[in-house]
Amino acid sequence: MARYASFLTLGFSSIAHTFSHLFTLLYATVVLVLEREWGMGYDTLFALSIPMSILFGAAALPAGWLGDRWSASGMMTLFFLGVGACSVATGLANTPLTICLALAGIGLFAAIYHPVGIPWLVRNATNRGRALGINGLFGSAGTAGAALVAGVLADLYGWRAAFIVPGVVCLIVGVAFLWARQTGLLLDRGEDLVPQPAPGKSDIWRVFWVMSATMLCTGLIFQATAFALPKVFDERLADFFHDSVFGIGGMVTIVYTCSALSQLIGGELADRFSLRSVYIAVQWLQIPVIIFAMTVIHPALVGVAALMVSLNVAGQPAENSLLAKYTPPQWRGRAFGGKFVLTLGVSSIGVAVIPLIYKLTGTLDVLFILLAACAAGAGIFAILLPRDGKPTMMAEPQAAE
């Protein structure tokens, strides 16, 4: 029973991870359609998504607190139903204000996943690094699929379908999740299925302060890249695809599909090598790739961008494993909530500067310099993490009572 519940938890958590990124990125491609249909500037229309980006991170801390104090599976039910309903509402909106409010609703409910879904997965995982790697793969699939889903639906049926169709799918999954929860197929554990040694208090505080800085930097890189890539490709490569939103969305999908496998690799590395060493390496390797991406105006940019994103997300299993390792299970929701306030909330500053940079310079080239500086900052701070040895194999979980 324990293994079955663990497998089912991984499945629903992975689908939710896909949705959390997919729904918050649909607008980044749809805005290109609205720019043409509504005759408004890119910077003005893009700004409508800033409240969504802020709430996606800022609401993570209260969501994590509720997950710890109330029910992780109950919060996940709210995630599926809330995101689905707000997505449908976005597709039915008729003014910039109503679009902004509906998008903000998506951000509010999508904020539930990371501080609740990941700790819920960790508590039920029999092999933490691998589970986080698989889960991360699905998250990358959501980021990859957002541009393609939005582009295809917008080209074929109009921009409203890009929100309504995925929203209905999310609601259906939410009903299935609620049924599984009510029938006892999903469990709310208070402790880890596979317990690990408790860390020392000094290491807990050291990791807290160091990772606050590194997670802010890595989150800013991820957020800014995900929102900016459709416009970067639109500027540099549109001629190769005859200004097709589907073509631009397809290129973004290729980037994140290629990078998705790096989450699996990162998860396996996190299980086999020092978490600290893996985490440090991916930060420093990003810098030359980001700088090179700034200079490329050629279809090869798709491959360079894929490598850039791959290095960013490859460190996420190690990052989440470090946070879980140095956080007691009963505080994990709040710890991950704090993490995603930084990586998705405060780092939304990176999203907010996108329209500002574009308005001031007419391009997004300066953004790459900012991203390289963030990677360097993360690499410097990661060196301060406590040294950890090579992971040992986890013990087999005990059978459910």
Instruction: Give the pLDDT confidence score for residue 363 in this predicted structure.
Output: 83
User: 193 pLDDT exceeds 60?
Assistant: no
Can you give 127-148 as a three-state secondary structure string?
A: CHHHHHHHHHHHHHHHHHHHHH
* Listed ranges 132-141, 277-286, 333-342; the one with the highest mean pLDDT: 277-286
Instruction: Give the pLDDT confidence score for residue 97 in this predicted structure.
Output: 94
User: 5 pLDDT exceeds 60?
Assistant: yes
359 to each of 30, 226, 349, how far by Cα in Å? 19, 19, 16
What tens digit of pLDDT does each residue of 111-121 get? 999 889 888 88
Question: Distance between CA 344 and CA 321 in Å, rounded?
Answer: 18
**Which helix (H) or strand (E) is 22 found in, with range?**
helix 2-37
What tens digit of pLDDT does each residue of 287-329 get? 999 999 988 888 888 899 999 999 998 888 888 888 878 877 6
**Cα-Cα-Cα-Cα dihedral of 182, 183, 186, 188, to 10°?**
60
In 10 A of CB 157, how many CB atoms? 12
**What does the radius of gyration of the chain's CA atoms come to, in whole angstroms?**
20
Q: What is the rounded average pLDDT of the residues 50-57?
A: 87
Question: Distance between CA 295 and CA 259 in Å, rounded?
Answer: 20
Q: What is the rounded average pLDDT of the residues 223-247?
A: 78
Question: Distance between CA 84 and CA 78 in Å, rounded?
Answer: 10
Amino acid at 352: A
3-class DSSP assignment, residue 398: coil
Q: What domains are there in the chain, each with its CATH number?
A: 2-190+198-382 (1.20.1250.20)
Listed range (104-118, 192-206, 240-254) with the worst mean pLDDT: 192-206
Question: Distance between CA 386 and CA 392 in Å, rounded?
Answer: 17
Question: Distance between CA 9 and CA 74 in Å, rounded?
Answer: 13
Token pair 């917008």 is found at: 154
Question: Distance between CA 166 and CA 132 in Å, rounded?
Answer: 25
Token pair 């590194």 is found at: 214
**Cα-Cα-Cα-Cα dihedral of 309, 258, 211, 109, to 10°?**
100
User: 236 pLDDT exceeds 90?
Assistant: no
Instruction: Give the pLDDT confidence score for residue 90 in this predicted structure.
Output: 97
Confidence of residue 390 (pLDDT cuts 50, 70, 90): low
Confidence of residue 400 (pLDDT cuts 50, 70, 90): very low
Cβ pair 33, 248 in contact under 8 A: no
Nearest to 396 by CA among 199, 123, 195: 195
Token pair 């930060």 is found at: 283
Nearest to 225 by CA among 20, 371, 8, 74: 371
Q: What is the rounded average pLDDT of the residues 156-165?
A: 94
User: 88 pLDDT exceeds 90?
Assistant: yes
Instruction: Give the pLDDT confidence score for residue 58 in this predicted structure.
Output: 82
